[in-house]
């Protein structure tokens, strides 16, 4: 295995002076399913967004497929972003557009601004979008408006939009935080299948430690902008969970069982 992504000594200080990340380093191997866990405000979103430069780092480097992303100009950054799909807590769909139109937005990184504005997608792109929607169980929703879907269905559209990009890496920012337990399980199962069958590397921010323990190859625990755990789920102790979550731990250990309990 080789490193797909390397985050090297990344720090982020926002304009208002708050430090969101302090000297964060880790690397992700191709094909890994990695969860980032931590309490509210730990810096999980900031970290994910620094990877594709939705947010600029204050110092440090992000290296993706051996390219230093932090140094890229606009055009090269667009090329790199094609291969990094992003999934959001609130789905970020265009409500008045159909499911398939939302999914095809995942192809915008491959087009000129004009072709994108005119919605010029070729037959191959449309066929691919339909195939992905079918894989995600949305074959009957293709022409519905996005705002007619349930939360779980909207998130599957979000996943389809990311997959149509043909990504190497999926960044998922709290993908299940707005969903009920059933829909959450469906989404996590799809993400896991995408990682195992399509070989796409998945990096997911999660609030729920039990979900992270169940699905991940590896867990990165963040507290106050620093990594305080980086290892496999079975070595995660309840002491460590306490260290990561601090006073929020009470709510989160509820579903914990087996070797990580006690
Ligand atoms: N745009 C911003 N401007 C100023 N401070 C910010 C900004 N975004 C985040 N922060 C601060 O940076 C820190 C990390 O926030 P971040 O959203 O990355 O954490 P998080 O772990 O994703 O939390 P949550 O689970 O609540 O989203 C927090 O202290 C937050 O208040």
Summarize the confidence of residues 85-107 as an average pLDDT.
96
Summarize the confidence of residues 8-18 as an average pLDDT.
96
Residue nearest to atom 11 of ligand 1 (CA): 20
Band of the pLDDT at 258, cuts 50, 70, 90?
very low
Q: Is the pLDDT of residue 119 over 90?
A: no
CA of 47 to the centre of ligand 1 (A): 10
CA of 126 to the centre of ligand 1 (A): 37
pLDDT at 251: 58
Domain boundaries, the chain: 3-83+167-260, 93-166
Summarize the confidence of residues 21-39 as an average pLDDT.
97
| C-beta of 43 in contact with ligand 1 (< 6 A) | yes
The domain over range 3-83+167-260 is classified in CATH as 3.40.50.300: yes
Q: Between 247 and 120, where is the model more confident?
A: 120
3-class SS of residue 4? strand
Q: Is the pLDDT of residue 151 over 90?
A: yes
CA of 41 to the centre of ligand 1 (A): 5
Summarize the confidence of residues 235-255 as an average pLDDT.
76
Least confident of 3-7, 33-37, 47-51, 108-112: 108-112
Measured CA distances, 185 to 47, 92, 190, 243 (Å):
24, 20, 9, 26
Sheet hosting strand 226-231, strand order edge to edge = 84-87, 169-173, 201-206, 33-37, 218-223, 226-231
CA of 43 to the centre of ligand 1 (A): 6
Ligand 1 pocket test: which of 46, 222, 252 has the largest number of ligand atoms within 8 Å of its C-beta? 46
What does the pLDDT look like over 173-226, one tens digit per residue? Answer: 999 999 999 999 999 999 999 999 999 999 999 988 999 999 999 999 999 999
Summarize the confidence of residues 24-44 as an average pLDDT.
96
Spatial CB neighbours of 22, under 8 Å, sequence gap ≥ 6: 11, 224, 225, 226
| CA of 205, closest atom in ligand 1 | 22
Give me the DSSP letters along 85-137: EEE-TT----TTSBHHHHHHGGGGGGS-HHHHHTT---HHHHHHHHHHHHHTT
| C-beta of 25 in contact with ligand 1 (< 6 A) | no
Q: Is the pLDDT of residue 254 over 50?
A: no
| C-beta of 14 in contact with ligand 1 (< 6 A) | yes
CA of 224 to the centre of ligand 1 (A): 10
CA distance 67 to 23: 20
Q: What is the ipTM of this complex?
A: 0.95
Summarize the confidence of residues 101-126 as an average pLDDT.
86
Residue nearest to atom 28 of ligand 1 (CA): 41
| C-beta of 20 in contact with ligand 1 (< 6 A) | yes
Summarize the confidence of residues 69-90 as an average pLDDT.
95
What does the pLDDT look like over 218-231, one tens digit per residue? Answer: 999 999 999 999 99
Q: Between 20 and 249, where is the model more confident?
A: 20
Residue nearest to atom 13 of ligand 1 (CA): 20
Summarize the confidence of residues 94-105 as an average pLDDT.
96
Q: pTM score, two decimals? A: 0.93
Measure the CA angle with vertex 177, ends 148 and 16; round to 5°: 110
């Amino acid at each position: 295995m080789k490193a797909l992504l390397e985050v090297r000594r990344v720090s982020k200080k926002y304009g208002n002076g708050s430090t969101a990340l302090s000297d964060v380093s880790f690397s992700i191997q191709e094909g890994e399913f990695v969860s980032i866990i931590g309490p509210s405000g730990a810096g999980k979103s900031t970290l994910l967004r620094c990877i594709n430069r939705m947010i600029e780092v204050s110092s440090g480097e992000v290296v993706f497929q051996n390219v230093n992303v932090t140094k890229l100009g606009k055009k090269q950054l667009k090329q790199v972003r094609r291969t990094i799909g992003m999934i959001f807590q609130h789905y970020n769909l265009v409500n008045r557009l159909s499911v398939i139109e939302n999914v095809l937005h995942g192809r915008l990184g491959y087009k000129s601004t004009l072709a994108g504005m005119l919605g010029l997608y070729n037959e191959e792109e449309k066929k691919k979008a339909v195939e992905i929607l079918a894989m995600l169980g949305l074959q009957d929703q293709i022409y519905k408006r996005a705002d007619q879907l349930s939360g779980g269905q909207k998130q599957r559209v979000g996943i389809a939009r990311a997959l149509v990009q043909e990504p190497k890496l999926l960044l998922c920012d709290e993908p299940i935080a707005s969903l009920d337990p059933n829909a959450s399980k469906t989404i996590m199962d799809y993400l896991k299948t995408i990682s195992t069958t399509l070989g796409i590397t998945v990096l997911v921010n999660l609030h729920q430690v039990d979900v992270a323990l169940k699905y991940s190859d590896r867990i990165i625990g963040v507290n106050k902008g620093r990594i305080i755990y980086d290892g496999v789920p079975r070595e995660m102790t309840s002491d460590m969970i306490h260290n990561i979550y601090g006073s929020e731990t009470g709510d989160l250990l509820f579903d914990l069982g087996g070797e990580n309990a006690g």
